[in-house]
């Protein structure tokens, strides 16, 4: 995975956990198209067999490109064990952002679209992470 920078890997993991591609792209300053390509490359390098199976299934269903949801359904195949670094950085960023409401509000006003996308990406990926942990505890 060394061909991806830290922010891109973070964004891809967020997508696999439930974030929208558009929102996650704000985490690493990529276009939606570049983010989708990074997602595909990440998944393909993490588990080529599963990625190919999903690609074939998507083609049989008439999709020109693989929908992110199809990759999310097999996210554990690509993520493996969620490392503690990802979780601790994710939680630290979230707590730091929300702890100073005034500063957070000013940042949102300065760059509202980007901040909204980042928040939604984190929220959606947190919900996806929560669902994965609930499913794996059964």
Over residues 11-36, the pLDDT tens digits come to 999 999 899 999 899 888 899 999 99
Q: Which residue has the higher pLDDT, 53 or 136?
A: 53
H helices, E strands: number in the chain: 9, 0
Contact present, 11 and 30 (Cβ < 8 Å): yes
Residue 68 inside a domain? The answer is yes
Q: What is the pLDDT of residue 69?
A: 95
In a domain, 75, yes or no: yes
42 found inside a domain: yes
Residue 1 lies in a domain: no
Would you state the pLDDT for residue 6? 85
Residue 130 corresponds to which tokens in the numbers above?
């929560």
Number of domains in the chain: 1
- Structural domain harbouring 44: 6-136
Q: What is the mean pLDDT of residues 60-74?
A: 95
Instruction: Answer yes or no: is 79 within a domain.
Output: yes
């Amino acid at each position: 995975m060394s061909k991806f920078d830290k922010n891109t890997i973070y964004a891809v993991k967020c997508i696999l956990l439930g974030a929208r591609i558009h929102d996650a792209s704000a985490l690493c300053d990529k276009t939606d198209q570049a983010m989708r390509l990074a997602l595909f490359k990440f998944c393909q390098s993490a588990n080529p067999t599963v990625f190919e199976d999903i690609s074939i299934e998507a083609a049989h269903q008439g999709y020109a490109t693989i929908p992110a949801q199809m990759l999310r359904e097999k996210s554990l195949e690509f993520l493996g064990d969620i490392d503690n670094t990802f979780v601790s950085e994710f939680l630290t960023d979230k707590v730091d952002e929300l702890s100073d409401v005034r500063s957070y509000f000013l940042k949102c006003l300065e760059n509202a679209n980007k901040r909204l996308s980042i928040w939604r990406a984190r929220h959606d990926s947190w919900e996806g992470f929560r669902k994965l942990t609930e499913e794996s505890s059964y």
